Amino acid sequence: MILHRNGLILFFTFALMINLIRHLPKIFPFVLVLGIFLSFSIHKETNPNKDRLLLELVSYVLERGHYNPRQIDDNFSKNVFNSYIKGLDNQRRFFLQSDVDNFSKYEERIDDLIKNSDTSFFDLTVEKLFQRIAQVESFYKELLEKPFDFSKQEYINLDFDNLSYVRTLNDLKKRWRMRFKLSSLQIFFDKKQEENDKKEKDNSYIIRSDLILEKEAREIVAENLNIFFENVSQLDRNDWFTVFVNSIALEFDPHTTYYAPQDKDRFDTRISGKFEGIGARLQRKNEQVHIIEIIPGGPVWRDNLLKVGEIILKVAQKDQEPIEIGNMRLDDAVNLIKGPKGTKVYLTVKRVDGIIEEVEIVRDVVELEESYAKSSLIIKDNKTYGLIELPQFYIDFDDYSNRNAATDVKNEINQLKEKNVQGIIIDLRNNGGGSLKTVVDITGYFIKDGPVVQVKSTGGRKEILRDTDSSIIWEGPLVILVNEFSASASEILAAALQDYKRAIVLGSKQTFGKGTVQNMVDLNRIISGSTYGDLGAVKLTTDKFYRINGGSTQLEGVKSDVVILDRYSYIDLGEKDQENPLSWDYIEPTLYDSWHKEIDYKYMLERSKERMNSSQYISLIEEQAKWVKQKQDEYDYTLNYNNLYKEKEFEKEKINKFKKLSEFQSNLQFQWLPEPGKKSFNEEVTLRRDRWIKSLKSDFYIDEATNILEDLNSKDYNGLAHLKINKD
């Protein structure tokens, strides 16, 4: 994912608003334009309901602002119909065939409903869904009262895309009963294994009977279902309407999404890596709000105010009466607890020992440490290299001077330079993207100056984003580590440094393949004076980015210079495997100068290939990848204990065989570095960093990346530096 808030977003917002205003007579006959802010105000006498308003707003923004708007016609309608029904009941465990038959009269009419802001189709479906959920909730406990017979030769198919809807309520009960049996069998199997393990350790231990274990398994399934329906009961009409709106949005492309207000808050937290609150993660269970994690560095952690396992009963603001939150939606409870830095919140808490007391907490900025860049030294044969892991390209869009990925990476590079490292690895594995501006800045740390990425916007306008700073922070050897989950902003960085021949890209055959840019359109800035409160936002695909060599990373991703398979190599999980992706294309390349220190790719690849051929792990990695693919394609599950036992024994053999991969230990030594400027760090952060270092020690890919850095520094390589670049 890429979000661009500098330059492009200003142009987009202005252009979109002008476009909206230009078409007001046709689209919003009841709207008045107010002042230079280009916002809308609705006549109170003619206010539509919120669903109609949202549908009108979102569909209009999509049609007028999307990079490649879709024709909203009967074919579009069919696709939205299928996507929406799947979104409501993706495992086909609520609706009957008669329900879907009844819905199908709208299959080719949704386009007309969208144009008329008509919610009748949604009303029909969500009313039926509520009815079916209530019916299942009324009978699921009864289905779990009778013991399961795990000696029967039965199977269940979980290929939901090809699973038919049942015809009667009795058939629906049978389907749920089979699902319960599968869940119970899995739990029963694990309990049997635990009993056998206890017997092996203590011969005097008396193994509990199958009847007892089967009953316990059903009780666990029932408890899980209680939690499931408790969570479902918290979903209201607005939640399901979000599903409907997104069925429309996602028909444009996989990354265009409507965000309800609470979802927008979560998105902002994820992209910035921080929020203002108390620093605790919460979960709703059994009509209570439980604390499930304390975030290091937050006010709760800092002052040791709360502990995991405690329950929040009431929430009060300063000079206000406490509000009970037991029956409240979790999102609403969280909104009461969160608040601006420096303000106070008062929580009535039930401690683990049962004591109930009120806790005063001063809210503060809570940083999600796992979201931020971190670095480690790598020591090999008395030589030192550096590793920077970047989980995402985070940014505070409201203030770029606040903590962001570019500034943090710069600080980490300078810290590594102080340690006299001879090469740096940038680890972008599993980095799904983020801010475009931070990508441009980070690329500039490794090149003199020049273009970084080309961006083609809605309407065909093209812009080249450049590094204009001629200073270079790091001139030494550089390896970019990627995998299939490196997407969007990660692909821009990898592509730019690859095109400049500035870095070696190592990892999967190709990265994710997301070559589009999204902008966040706040619907509240389009509509002012709404009586419905916060309307949320639309994350809209407005641009497509291209490499400086002219090629798009859309669908194709970035192909690694050094390819090493991993367990996901044969699984369909890239952009090309998503619904409705934009196509690949090519534009004119821009002028740029390759890195002045030439890399002999042929030499480097031969050295890496020799190591791979002599490695005992490569063939095992490929076998594991094929096995993972095979498991992914299996949809039939046995409901017979003996059959499951045989399957588990076979799986155990495979798992034991693949354990060899986890046993890999490099000869490298690692030493994590504290955040620049921080002289002390807390116990929890130290523990997490120590775990990270332990994982690096067993990371085959880091090991090979370090070998490549060593090659780039070798005497033999330097002797070939005068040769012409060869990347065939």
C-alpha angle 579-629-370 in degrees, rounded to nearest 5: 70
Within this chain, do residues 290 and 200 fall inside the same structural domain, yes or no? no
Q: Give the domain CATH number at 292.
A: 2.30.42.10
Phi, psi of 638 (to 5 degrees): -75, 150
Within this chain, do residues 375 and 414 fall inside the same structural domain, yes or no? yes
Contact by Cβ (8 Å): 274, 367:
yes
3-state SS class at 365: strand
* Average of per-residue pLDDT across 662-666: 88
3-state SS class at 702: helix
The span from the CA of 350 to the CA of 566, in Å, is 46
* Residue 114 burial (CB count, 10 A): 23
Which pair of tokens denotes residue 249? 């949005």
The span from the CA of 537 to the CA of 347, in Å, is 31
Within this chain, do residues 633 and 672 fall inside the same structural domain, yes or no? yes
Give the pLDDT of residue 682. Answer: 66
**Of 237, 256, 284, the domain-final residue:** 237
Give the pLDDT of residue 42. Answer: 29
Convert the pLDDT of each residue in 689-726 to its tens digit.
Answer: 888 999 999 999 999 999 999 999 874 444 443 333 33
Which pair of tokens denotes residue 114? 């969208």
The span from the CA of 246 to the CA of 55, in Å, is 10
Give the pLDDT of residue 273. Answer: 65
Exposure string over 211-223, b if 16+ CB within 10 A, otherwise e: eebbeebbebbbe
* Residue 663 burial (CB count, 10 A): 9
Give the pLDDT of residue 35. Answer: 24
Within this chain, do residues 448 and 559 fall inside the same structural domain, yes or no? yes
pTM of the predicted model as reported, rounded to 2 decimal places: 0.80
Within this chain, do residues 352 and 384 fall inside the same structural domain, yes or no? no
Residue 62 binned pLDDT confidence (cut-offs 50, 70, 90)? very high
Give DSSP secondary structure letters for 657-690: HHHHHHT---S-EEEEEPPTT-S---HHHHHHHH
The span from the CA of 725 to the CA of 375, in Å, is 31
Strand partners, 527: 40
* Average of per-residue pLDDT across 37-46: 30
508 has pLDDT over 90: yes
Residue located via tokens 């497509």: 544
Residue 71, in any domain of the structure: no
Residue 7, in any domain of the structure: no
Q: Which of 9-13, 336-340, 541-545 has the lowest mean pLDDT?
A: 9-13
* Average of per-residue pLDDT across 67-76: 94
Within this chain, do residues 391 and 505 fall inside the same structural domain, yes or no? yes
CA dihedral 611, 616, 618, 622 (to 10 degrees): 170
Give the pLDDT of residue 28. Answer: 28
* Average of per-residue pLDDT across 29-54: 42
Q: Give the domain CATH number at 472.
A: 3.90.226.10
Residue 671, in any domain of the structure: yes
Percent of the chain residues topping a pLDDT of 70: 88
Residue 529 binned pLDDT confidence (cut-offs 50, 70, 90)? low
Give the pLDDT of residue 616. Answer: 86
Within this chain, do residues 605 and 691 fall inside the same structural domain, yes or no? yes
Residue 448, in any domain of the structure: yes
413 has pLDDT over 90: yes
More confident residue, 49 or 382: 382
587 has pLDDT over 80: yes
Give the pLDDT of residue 72. Answer: 93
Residue 292 binned pLDDT confidence (cut-offs 50, 70, 90)? confident
* Average of per-residue pLDDT across 530-534: 77
Give the pLDDT of residue 1. Answer: 58
Give the pLDDT of residue 534. Answer: 85
Residue 54's closest CA among 339, 307, 246, 293?
Answer: 246
Within this chain, do residues 397 and 498 fall inside the same structural domain, yes or no? yes
Residue 54, in any domain of the structure: no
3-state SS class at 216: helix
Q: What is the mean pLDDT of the chain?
A: 85
Q: Amino acid identity of 720?
A: L
Residue 591, in any domain of the structure: yes
Highest-scoring range by mean pLDDT, 175-189, 221-235, 262-276, 330-344: 175-189
Exposure string over 139-175, b if 16+ CB within 10 A, otherwise e: ebeebbeeebebeeebeeeeeeeeeebbeeeeebbeb
The span from the CA of 76 to the CA of 78, in Å, is 6
Into how many domains does the chain fold?
A: 3
Start-to-end CA distance of the chain, whole Å, equals 31
Residue 272 binned pLDDT confidence (cut-offs 50, 70, 90)? low
**Of 180, 210, 237, the domain-final residue:** 237
The span from the CA of 525 to the CA of 38, in Å, is 8
Tally DSSP H helices, then E strands, for the chain. Answer: 22, 27
The span from the CA of 487 to the CA of 557, in Å, is 8
Domain residues for 288?
Answer: 274-367
Residue 695, in any domain of the structure: yes
The span from the CA of 245 to the CA of 56, in Å, is 10
3-state SS class at 608: helix
2 has pLDDT over 70: no
Within this chain, do residues 85 and 158 fall inside the same structural domain, yes or no? yes
The span from the CA of 437 to the CA of 465, in Å, is 9
Give the pLDDT of residue 706. Answer: 96
Residue 46, in any domain of the structure: no
Percent of the chain residues topping a pLDDT of 90: 57
34 has pLDDT over 60: no
Residue 21 binned pLDDT confidence (cut-offs 50, 70, 90)? very low
615 has pLDDT over 70: yes
Q: At what angle do helices 74-88 and 237-249 cross, to 10 degrees?
A: 140
Residue 66 binned pLDDT confidence (cut-offs 50, 70, 90)? very high
3-state SS class at 528: strand
* Average of per-residue pLDDT across 486-497: 96
Q: At what angle do helices 601-614 and 700-713 cross, to 10 degrees?
A: 140
Q: Which of 92-96, 481-485, 630-634 has the lowest mean pLDDT?
A: 630-634
* Average of per-residue pLDDT across 125-140: 96
Give the pLDDT of residue 65. Answer: 93
Within this chain, do residues 398 and 296 fall inside the same structural domain, yes or no? no
Within this chain, do residues 700 and 681 fall inside the same structural domain, yes or no? yes
Within this chain, do residues 221 and 180 fall inside the same structural domain, yes or no? yes
**Of 191, 214, 237, the domain-final residue:** 237
Which pair of tokens denotes residue 226? 């209680």
